[in-house]
Amino acid sequence: MILPSLVFGVIALVAGLGLRYWINRRRFNRRNVAGLEGHSSYEKAVAVTFFERIGKLIAIGLIIAGVLFLWVYSKEIKRLKAKELKSTASTHAIPVPEMNMPVKDRSITGV
């Protein structure tokens, strides 16, 4: 279950960042000398703007999902390392005497 979260995290993150880059690059390339976006018609401008907004929302969702998948991956790795450390520590531990042993008299006189 560890490897799929890493793969999905990287794929989602790269896809989200790539989609944002592609949309912003298209928007940049449509700008004219005055800095305004140039469209051939009003309908095309409305449709392109709408789909770009939807695309950016999808990209943000992919980025968030990718970060969450990578976070889950890091948590699983930490959990497995702690479990491995605990299992190796318990097998190589020095035996500790029981704490329920009778205690000698600890009076000041020592009698």
pLDDT of residue 1 exceeding 90: no
Asked if residue 73 is part of any domain, the answer here is: yes
Name residue 4's amino acid.
P
User: How many domains, in total, are found in the chain?
Assistant: 1
pLDDT of residue 16 exceeding 70: yes
Reported pTM: 0.70
pLDDT tier for residue 84 given thresholds of 50, 70 and 90: confident
pLDDT, mean of residues 72-77: 91
Determine phi and psi for 31, rounding to 5 degrees. Answer: -75, 145
pLDDT of residue 90 exceeding 80: no
Name residue 35's amino acid.
G
Asked if residue 42 is part of any domain, the answer here is: yes
Range of the domain at 60: 2-81
Mean pLDDT, rounded, of the chain: 85
3-state secondary structure of 37: strand
pLDDT of residue 11 exceeding 90: yes
Return the closest-CA partner of residue 40 out of 30, 28, 51: 30
Asked if residue 89 is part of any domain, the answer here is: no
Asked if residue 90 is part of any domain, the answer here is: no
pLDDT, tens digit, for every residue of 30-50?
988 888 888 889 999 999 999
Asked if residue 86 is part of any domain, the answer here is: no
- Residue 59: Cβ within 10 Å count: 20
Asked if residue 64 is part of any domain, the answer here is: yes
pLDDT, mean of residues 53-76: 95
Asked if residue 11 is part of any domain, the answer here is: yes
- Residue 90's alpha-carbon distances to 68, 75, 85, 96, 99, in angstroms, are 33, 22, 9, 12, 18
Asked if residue 59 is part of any domain, the answer here is: yes
Q: Which helix (H) or strand (E) holds 52?
A: helix 42-91
